Amino acid sequence: MTPALIQSLKAARRVSVPIVAITTPDPAATIKAIVELNGGPMLQWDAAEGLRSLNDAGKDTRAAIISEVDPTIANPFALLQLAKKLPPKSVLFVHLANRWVADPMTVQAAWNLRDEFKRDQRMLVLLAIDCHWPAELSGDIVVLDEPLPDAAALERIIRRVHQEALLELGEADRVIEAVQGLPAFQAEQVVAMSLTKQGVDVPALWERKRKQIELTPGLKVCRETSMFKDIGGVAVVKDFLGRIMAGQSRPNAVVFVDEIEKFLAGASGGAADSSGVSQDQLGQLLSYMQDNNAAGCIFVGPPGAAKSAVAKAAGNEANIPTIQLDLGGMKGSLVGQSEQSLRSALKVVTSVSNGRSLWIATCNSISDLPPELRRRFTLGTFFFELPDNAERRAIWNIWTDRYDAFDPTKKARHKDIQIPDDEGWTGAEIRQCCDIAWRLGCTLKEAAAFVVPVSKSAAEQLEKLRRAADGRFLSASKPGVYRREQEPSRTTEKRRLELE
């Protein structure tokens, strides 16, 4: 429990705040820290075991109000009715409060305690990992948020685990970095499980951390190992991101939102989302990026133009995690579930990045993005044009080398491979052609018959994108602002690929 949260709770206790809600990733640790600070009767309740005492005064109180069978088991309404009998200065902790706040009777029972508890310094503490509190309670409770443990707290946990195992702690910074973003209990567990006689197995620790992060709905840690050198073309944006990664405010994590316009459809404009989920997600993203001074880029362009590939490789370039934020995966059927999932995810992002994250969003149509969101991505909007001749040659080199593409009429691989007419192809289509040639054992020219480039299948949409980007966005391939006249260079000559 952080010092700031302890001080806030002391202040609430001092002025007799009757109802407090604490969002915490580890309710047990939170209760333990609070019990050590207070002297009155302290009790906790959960649906499985009912009302239990936390100190000697709490034992006497429980015995006075419950004679035999506990009527509050699995019944929060009965608990809140019984809470009226608690003596002055009592503190009652309620677990999983987010699970019953949708029940009108229970919410009313909690609200009825407000004035009674206010008079004699009793306090109802609602515990939840996160929660969207109902309007009937939101004006009468004080909400406190316990962040995930910082580097100092994690170091204390790591050192204690090593001491208990009679091992020396080597590079503490590497171990802390590998568990940052986990609650205290989970951090302790994964460190203990990753211990060997030689110390902590850091790669194993990272893998366990990835799995723990992915337990948060909508979060995924990218496991791809590609670097910028594995991506042909788009030299300007790769150089820009490389300099950001080594600059004055080096990020500790990349947050990648793919096709963001689809997830936020209905957040603004005429076709608004009637459920309010998209609007709430947009509001949370806007507030988070502003409050945390989070910088970011938007990548616009046709499908297959390397937008996602660059975003995923950015973290690998700096040896930091790339966390994919799936806003669609956070949308749930229950009231408040989607909003709660995004708040939990952003809390993890903050902890993993220690407050310094680089956001990269890709989209195929920027006209669907609200202007206020585009302004939050302060590092610019880059347009990914179709690759020109030189860029396509570099992409062919990368993918033919990876797939070991060759002309099957010759027995051995050679340096002189004839490539098909690739005018208007994206990098993804070049990869597709190499993949087909490899699978079918045919030449690249034969495989090209099975490739329909996006420049033909979606010519109108591509031209619309170019018009929207002309003079407004930065070019991902050439220095400065994108201009439509900077179309990919054309050629009609037969070319052969000189493989390195």
Q: Are the C-beta atoms of residues 284 and 342 closer than 8 Å to each other?
A: yes
| pLDDT (0 to 100) of residue 411 | 42
Please check the confidence at residue 317 and state whether its pLDDT lies above 50: yes
Identify whether residues 417 and 339 lie together within a single domain: no
Please check the confidence at residue 29 and state whether its pLDDT lies above 90: no
CA–CA gap between residue 281 and residue 99 (Å, rounded): 21
Mean pLDDT along residues 109-128: 95
Q: Are the C-beta atoms of residues 360 and 299 closer than 8 Å to each other?
A: yes
Range with the poorest average pLDDT among 138-142, 164-168, 266-270, 392-396? 266-270
What pLDDT, in 10s, does the model give residues 466-481?
999 999 999 999 999 9
Identify whether residues 25 and 117 lie together within a single domain: yes
More confident residue, 165 or 36: 165
Identify whether residues 298 and 375 lie together within a single domain: yes
Mean per-residue pLDDT of the chain:
87
| Domain membership of residue 429 as a residue range | 389-498
Identify whether residues 375 and 404 lie together within a single domain: no
Identify whether residues 265 and 175 lie together within a single domain: no
Residue that is last in its domain, among 362, 383, 404: 383
Residue that is last in its domain, among 192, 213, 234: 213
Please list the alpha-helical segments (H only) found in 319-388. Answer: 337-353, 371-376
* CATH number of the domain where residue 140 is located: 3.40.50.300
Identify whether residues 315 and 447 lie together within a single domain: no
| pLDDT (0 to 100) of residue 34 | 86
* CATH number of the domain where residue 301 is located: 3.40.50
Phi/psi for 91 (5° steps) reads -125, 125
Which of 22, 19, 20, 54 has the alpha carbon at shortest distance from 40? 54
Q: Are the C-beta atoms of residues 205 and 213 closer than 8 Å to each other?
A: no
Identify whether residues 21 and 157 lie together within a single domain: no
More confident residue, 368 or 208: 208
Q: Are the C-beta atoms of residues 108 and 61 closer than 8 Å to each other?
A: no
Identify whether residues 373 and 403 lie together within a single domain: no
| pLDDT (0 to 100) of residue 405 | 55
Identify whether residues 454 and 358 lie together within a single domain: no
Nearest 5°: CA angle at 21, between 215 and 118?
170
Phi/psi for 387 (5° steps) reads -65, 145
What pLDDT, in 10s, does the model give residues 66-105?
988 999 999 999 999 999 999 999 999 999 998 888 899 9
Residue that is last in its domain, among 101, 126, 145: 145
| pLDDT (0 to 100) of residue 500 | 46
What pLDDT, in 10s, does the model give residues 330-361?
766 554 567 778 888 998 899 888 889 999 99
What pLDDT, in 10s, does the model give residues 400-441?
888 875 555 544 444 557 889 999 999 999 999 999 999 998
* Sign of the alpha-carbon torsion through 325, 326, 329, 333: positive
Please state the domain count of the chain.
4
Phi/psi for 173 (5° steps) reads -60, -40
Identify whether residues 229 and 356 lie together within a single domain: yes
Identify whether residues 238 and 195 lie together within a single domain: no
Identify whether residues 261 and 169 lie together within a single domain: no
What pLDDT, in 10s, does the model give residues 251-263?
999 999 999 888 7
